[in-house]
Structure 1
C-alpha cells in the first residue's frame, strides 16, 4: 500500500496510555548519554518529539540557567503536552516550555538553539532528511544536533518465542506502509550527510537498551501486551492487512509467556549522531 503524499506520517504507535507510559521510562540517563556530557548550564535546547516530557524535564535540570523547549507535531493528542506541562509544574521546573510545531517546517528563527535533540523521532517521518535540515537551521553556529533512533532488525531476545517473532516481523511492513524507515538507526549518518552536514562535523555512535532484570522484563512484556491489545498498533495492523486478529492473540500469548521466564532477556541497538553545526 502506498503512503499518502503528506511528508509527516501519522505517528504509527498512537498516543494510547500504554504507549505514553512506555515513553515515560525514557530519561536523559538512558537515552541521551551520547551528548549529555556536552551540555552547559546556560544552554537553550529544543527537544523534538518530546512526548510525555520525561527526557525534556531531565534536560531542563541539566541546564538550570538555560531553557528547554519541547515540541510535538500538530497531529499529536493535545493531552500529551498537557501531561508534560503538569509534570513540570509538579516538579517545580520553570525553565521549560511545551508547544506544537512541525519539525519539517520549524516555526523558529535561524540559530535559535544551542542544542536540537530528537529521540526516536526520525524513524516516524517520511522525510527525515528535511527534518535534519530544519534541525540544523535552527541550531546556533558551534551548537549541536543530536539524534538517536532504534534499528528494528537488531532486536534480539531469549528465550525464543514464535509470538514475539511474529510481532517483530510485523513492524517493518507496518512502518513501510506508512512510508517510514523502521531501521532508522543505521541510516542516521547517511541522512545527516544528505542534509548537508559535513562528515568531519558528525560523530556517529551506537548504544543499546537491555531489559534483563525481573522488573524490566515484566514491564517490557506487559507493556507490549497492553499496546497490542489497546493501542493504535492493533487498529492499524488490522486495517492495513498486516495482521489478523489471531496473529494479535498469538503475539499477546508469546509476550506473556516470555515475560514469565526467569531467564528472559531482550536488547535493541540504537544508532546515534552528534552533529556540530
Structure 2
C-alpha cells in the first residue's frame, strides 16, 4: 500500500457508478441546482440552502456505501464553511458538524450562529491527525492559492476508513469566473477590471486574491497521485449519464463546471 511519502503511480481515474448517489444524480436534480445559481448574490440563503441539502445527501450516500451506516454520530468537518448554511442540514441527519473558515467576515455574513465554527486556514487545518469521520469542502478550492495542499490537509485530518469529498468550481467552465463570468474567458484580471468599471466596486471574488484558476486536469492529477483511495471523480451538477465527460481532455475543462473527488483514507 502506498504511503504519504510514496504516492502511487499516476493512472487515469475511472468513475465508479454503482453508488447510491449515482442513482440520485438525475436530470431533474441537475436542473434544480443549475437554476439556483441565479440567486447566489440576490438570495444566498436560497442558493446555499439548496447546495447544503444536496451536499448532505451526497455525503450521506457515499458514507453509506463505504460503511453501511448513515451519518448519525459522525463528526463532519466542512472546510470553508463560511456563514454556516450547511450546519442545519448535517445536524438534522444526526452528525456533529464542525466548520473551519479563515475569514471572520464570512463567518458572520448571514448572522447565523454555528457552535462548531473554527477560524483557520484550509491549507493548515488547526486539527490533529485522524480527527474526523468525514471531511468535505464545497466550492472552496478555487478560493485558495494552494488548493492541493488543502486537499492533502483534508486527508491528514480524516480518520483511517473515513470519507473525503472535495468539490470545486472548474476555471474554464461557465461558472469559473463567478460573478465576473463569462468574461473570465478573456482572462481573470480583465474580467475583474471590467466588473469594477461596470459596478463601481471590486467583485467579491477577486481574481488573483480570492479567486484562482483551478482546472479539472489538476483535480484528476491529485486523484491519481494522492495516497488516499479515490472511489470516484465526477461532475457535480451533471446527471449520472453524463459523468463520462471527466474522461475527455479539453471537453472536461469547458463542460465540467464542478469537479468532485470522492476518496477514503486507507
* Structure 1 length-normalised TM: 0.56
Contact 2:78 2:100 in 1 (8 A): yes
| Structure-1 separation of matches of 2:211 and 2:112 | 31
Alignment-derived partner of residue 166 in structure 1: 183
Alignment-derived partner of residue 275 in structure 1: 263
Secondary structure of the residue aligned to 2:112 is helix
Alignment-derived partner of residue 112 in structure 2: 87
> Whose radius of gyration is greater, 1 or 2?
1
Deviation at 1:32, TM superposition (A): 5.2
Instruction: Tell me if 1:70 matches 2:99.
Output: yes
Instruction: Tell me if 1:52 matches 2:103.
Output: no
1:1-277 to structure 2, matched below 5 A, reads 21-22=43-44, 25-26=47-48, 27-31=51-55, 33-37=57-61, 38=63, 39-62=70-93, 64=94, 66-73=95-102, 76=103, 78-83=104-109, 86-88=111-113, 96-155=115-174, 165-166=182-183, 169-171=186-188, 177-178=208-209, 181-194=212-225, 196-198=226-228, 200-208=229-237, 269-277=257-265
Secondary structure of the residue aligned to 1:135 is helix
Contact 1:186 1:271 in 2 (8 A): no
CA displacement, residues 217-273 of structure 1 (integer Å, 9 cap, x when unaligned)? xxxxxxxxxxxxxxxxxxxxxxxxxxxxxxxxxxxxxxxxxxxxxxxxxx9721001
Contact 1:35 1:274 in 2 (8 A): no
Deviation at 1:21, TM superposition (A): 4.8
| Structure-1 separation of matches of 2:47 and 2:168 | 16
Distance 1:60 1:52, change over 3 A: same
Distance 1:154 1:81, change over 3 A: closer
Contact 1:24 1:54 in 2 (8 A): no
Q: How many residues align?
A: 184
Contact 1:184 1:271 in 2 (8 A): no
RMSD, aligned α-carbons? 3.4
Deviation at 1:178, TM superposition (A): 4.2
Deviates more, 1:164-173 or 1:147-156: 164-173
* Structure 2 length-normalised TM: 0.58
| Structure-1 separation of matches of 2:86 and 2:101 | 13
Contact 1:172 1:182 in 2 (8 A): no
Deviation at 1:147, TM superposition (A): 0.9
| Structure-2 separation of matches of 1:54 and 1:135 | 20
Deviation at 1:169, TM superposition (A): 3.3
Secondary structure of the residue aligned to 1:188 is helix
| Structure-2 separation of matches of 1:138 and 1:122 | 17
Distance 1:204 1:108, change over 3 A: same
| Structure-2 separation of matches of 1:172 and 1:272 | 26
Secondary structure of the residue aligned to 2:82 is coil
